[in-house]
């Protein structure tokens, strides 16, 4: 399913190009505060945040990351003022209308987690077109979480499994980690569904309903940088910190 890991290109001598995390997930936070600091409307922060998505996507792909999951719109973000929600719904349209050729050039495939059927028709079309237009790319997967919430994901998986048990298709004894994982929205990522590294920008240290099942053993990193200021160097710094961690997965020895 996944292409060969590309040779990483980096100018940072401290970064080990042979130990790049396969799956990086990012909670992109701080757009509003970035704008506020500049006396700009909040949407200016989201607009700049979209540029950062482009920068970080290319950087991650060049570094050899296999999956980049980005929390773009949560099931809770509908509570924001409608003018801001409307702007956020336009962003995927703006993003894909100009960026799909670059994604294809970098062999990046677009995927989505979340219930996109609740998004405006134009947004759904932009997302579905991008998925189709990049379907043959076998490099990095750019996995957007759109109208995604982890509790919603877990409830849907539970309901689906309960229905299968009730229909006699499976026995409750067959419910295990693997079956749950297969019913999560991340199932299409196969072996790469679980992030190795989760980054949250803007100084907040919360998970905010993002990939709760999948981050059980992820390394967590919190940076004070606002998302619009996050760049290739910030990503490399996060990876360097990751490379200094010792993942034990509940055991005693380093892996
Ligand atoms: C959180 O910052 C950010 C969001 C809710 C939206 C994230 C969206 C983008 C970065 C652009 C996405 C681009 C595409 C292509 C879909 P915040 O508004 O909560 O910031 P604050 O905490 O400083 O107010």
* Pocket of ligand 1, beta carbon within 6 A: 28-33, 46, 49-50, 53, 72, 77, 88, 91-92, 95, 202, 227
Q: Is the Cβ–Cβ distance between 44 and 226 less than 8 Å?
A: no
* pLDDT tens per residue across span 151-178: 999 999 999 999 999 999 999 999 999 9
**Closest C-alpha residue for ligand 1 atom 8:** 72
Higher pLDDT, 2 or 215: 215
Calculate Rg over the CA atoms of the chain. 18
State the number of CA atoms in the 13 A half-sphere of 184 facing the CB: 25
pTM assigned to the model: 0.94
All domains of the chain in start order, with CATH:
2-7+19-148+193-243 (3.40.1180.10)
Q: Which of 26, 27, 46, 231 to mutate to test the pocket of ligand 1 (most atoms within 8 A of CB)?
A: 46
Confidence check: pLDDT of 9 > 70: no
69 is in an annotated binding site: no
Question: For 126-160, what is each residue's pLDDT tens digit?
Answer: 999 999 999 999 999 999 999 999 999 999 999 99
* Ligand 1 pocket test, candidate residues 53, 72, 149, most atoms within 8 A of CB: 72
pLDDT 10s digits, 26-53: 999 999 999 999 999 999 999 999 999 9
Integer CA distances (angstroms), 237 to 6, 53, 81, 227, 233, in order: 20, 17, 35, 14, 6
| 208 is known to lie in a ligand binding site | yes
| Mean pLDDT on 55-73 | 98
**What DSSP element (H or E) covers 96?**
helix 82-105
pLDDT digits (tens, 9 = 90+) for 100-115: 999 999 999 999 999 9
Tell how far the Cα of 187 is from the centroid of ligand 1, in angstroms. 25
Catalytic residues, by residue number, are 29, 77
Q: Check the annotation: does 207 bind a ligand.
A: yes
Paired tokens of 226:
């606002």
Q: Which residue has the tokens 């309901």?
A: 159
């Amino acid at each position: 399913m996944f292409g060969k890991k590309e040779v990483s290109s980096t100018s940072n001598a401290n970064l080990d190009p042979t130990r790049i995390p396969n799956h990086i997930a990012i909670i992109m936070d701080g757009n509003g505060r970035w704008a506020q600091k500049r006396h700009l409307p909040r949407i200016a922060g989201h607009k700049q945040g979209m540029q950062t998505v482009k920068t970080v996507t290319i950087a991650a792909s060049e570094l050899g990351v296999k999956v980049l999951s980005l929390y773009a719109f949560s099931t809770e973000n509908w509570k924001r003022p409608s003018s801001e929600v409307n702007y956020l719904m336009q962003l995927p349209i703006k993003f894909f209308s100009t960026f799909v050729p670059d994604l294809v050039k970098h062999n990046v495939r677009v995927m989505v987690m979340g219930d996109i059927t609740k998004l405006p028709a134009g947004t759904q079309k932009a997302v579905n077109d991008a998925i189709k237009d990049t379907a043959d790319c076998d490099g990095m997967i750019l996995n957007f979480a759109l109208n995604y919430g982890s509790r919603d994901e877990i409830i849907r998986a539970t309901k689906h499994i309960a229905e299968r048990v009730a229909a006699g298709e499976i026995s409750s004894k067959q419910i295990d980690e693997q079956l749950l994982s297969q019913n999560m929205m991340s199932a299409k990522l196969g072996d790469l569904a679980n992030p190795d590294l989760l980054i949250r920008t803007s100084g907040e240290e919360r998970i905010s309903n993002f990939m709760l099942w999948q981050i059980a053993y992820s390394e967590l990193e919190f940076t004070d940088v606002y998302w619009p200021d996050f760049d290739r160097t910030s990503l490399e710094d996060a990876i360097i910190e990751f490379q200094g961690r010792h993942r034990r997965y509940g055991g005693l020895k380093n892996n």
